[in-house]
Amino acid sequence: MDQETFSALRETVRRFVAERLVPNEDRLEAEDAVPAEIIQEMRELGLFGLSIPEEYGGLGLNMSEEAEVIYELGRTALAYRSVIGTTVGIGSQGIVIDGTEAQKQAWLPRLASGEIMASFALTEPGAGSDAASIKTKAVKDGDVYRLSGTKRFITNAPRAGMFTVMARSEDAPGAAGITAFIVPAGTKGMSFGKNDKKMGQKGTITCDVIFDDAVVPAENIIGGIAGRGFKTAMKVLDRGRIHLSALATGMSQRLLEEQLRYASERQQFGQKIGEFQLVQALIADSRVDGYASKTMVTDVARRFDAGEKVSADVACTKYFTSEAVGRVADRTVQIFGGAGYMAEYKAERFYRDVRLLRIYEGTSQIQQIIIAKALLREAGLSL
């Protein structure tokens, strides 16, 4: 996208966040749902198609541009971004990166317009961090596969029109036996558990997705080749982790703004609390975390776009930015004092919302392992 068009898009998203999303944050929390008219406005803005190539009806943003837009969306309740998150990211990118031309034509235009949403189903009750140990089976039966198994914590499942599902179709153990399937919503033999009750991010939806002899045509294998699903999932997650890092960084900035506003208004001992140096230290540390986060996201996204192998630095960025926003949220509660503990203030809400960022798309511990293993391999250790 040319620079001028992109600047206009970013400005539009910034205004949308300030004028439509922030004013509806309390309603979102109270109703535990993103208002339908806001989802419709997201469609009209093209937000579902941010990362889908232009020839399939999307905006075709590169990673750096996507990160800038997601940074803006990070400056409000994180549930809004979750509505588009799986379609922009993990749910559609398998098709964008590894799909056949026919699969791209069949699915991407409908995803880009927001006509349907995508979900990504990898995690299972017995397989989270150890994703290569998934047990959902895909048994070949002529020109179809029969899927059986349970997927856990699947974001946007009840409202998705299609699912990227990882299942074990081959005899090979671990990652080599896994295949990525496109499963349309409504496939016979597929059902949902009840919606999960969560710590935060009110308005997001996750639940179990259960496959009981669900029949999926062999032509729905992403890229048409069985046994490549784990590789597809890992490529998708590299991009997804930069996306989430940008989200964390946007929220760090929002929280810093909340700190500055409160510290400039609240008085104790006859002074604004922002005049106390110990409060200033909390603000300064939050700026350091936010600034470092922004710098890392910008750098790693640029290098991703340049085609460099950046998986380990993506892990550094996801690890740092998600932990950083946790620290910033904690300081925000502290600056707000007792009010920071009260549900009617944003500090309490965002503190709970950001906790998830250290867990999904690879926990902090998994990012540490990716970073350390990459370095040790470079140093000659065989791992």
Ligand X SMILES: Cc1cc2nc3c(=O)[nH]c(=O)nc-3n(C[C@H](O)[C@H](O)[C@H](O)COP(=O)(O)OP(=O)(O)OC[C@H]3O[C@@H](n4cnc5c(N)ncnc54)[C@H](O)[C@@H]3O)c2cc1C
Nearest CB to ligand X, comparing residues 47 and 154: 154
Q: Among 359, 372, 373, 374, which residue interacts with ligand X (rule: CB under 6 A)?
A: 359
Least CB distance to ligand X at residue 99 (A)? 18
365 binds ligand X, rule: CB under 6 A: yes
Contacts of 333 (CB under 8 A, 6+ apart): 340, 341, 347, 348, 351
Residue 361 among the catalytic residues: yes
From 72, 258, 348, 361, active-site residue:
361
Considering only residues 190 to 209 of the shown chain, the ones binding ligand X according to CB under 6 A are 198, 206
Q: Which of 121, 193, 208, 218 is nearest to 162 (CA)?
A: 121
Residue nearest to ligand X (CB): 128
Nearest CB to ligand X, comparing residues 181 and 262: 181
Q: Which pairs count as long-range contacts for 106-111, CB under 8 Å and 24+ apart, including other chains? A: 107/162, 107/182, 108/52, 108/53, 108/56, 108/57, 108/58, 109/56, 109/57, 110/161, 111/48, 111/49, 111/52, 111/58, 111/87, 111/161, 111/162
Number of amino acids touching ligand X (CB under 6 A): 20
129 binds ligand X, rule: CB under 6 A: yes
Greatest alpha-carbon span in the chain = 79
Round to whole Å and give the CA distance between 290 and 294: 6
Least CB distance to ligand X at residue 173 (A)? 18
356 binds ligand X, rule: CB under 6 A: yes
Contacts of 16 (CB under 8 A, 6+ apart): 41, 45
Round to whole Å and give the CA distance between 226 and 70: 33
120 binds ligand X, rule: CB under 6 A: yes
Nearest CB to ligand X, comparing residues 50 and 256: 50
Q: From 118-126, 242-250, 271-279, 288-296, give the range in contact with ligand X by CB under 6 A.
A: 118-126
Q: Among 113, 334, 363, 372, which residue interacts with ligand X (rule: CB under 6 A)?
A: 363
The answer to whether the CB of 34 falls within 8 A of the CB of 28 is: yes
The residues binding ligand X (CB under 6 A) are 86, 120-123, 128-129, 153-155, 198, 206, 356, 359-361, 363, 365-366, 369
Catalytic residue set: 361
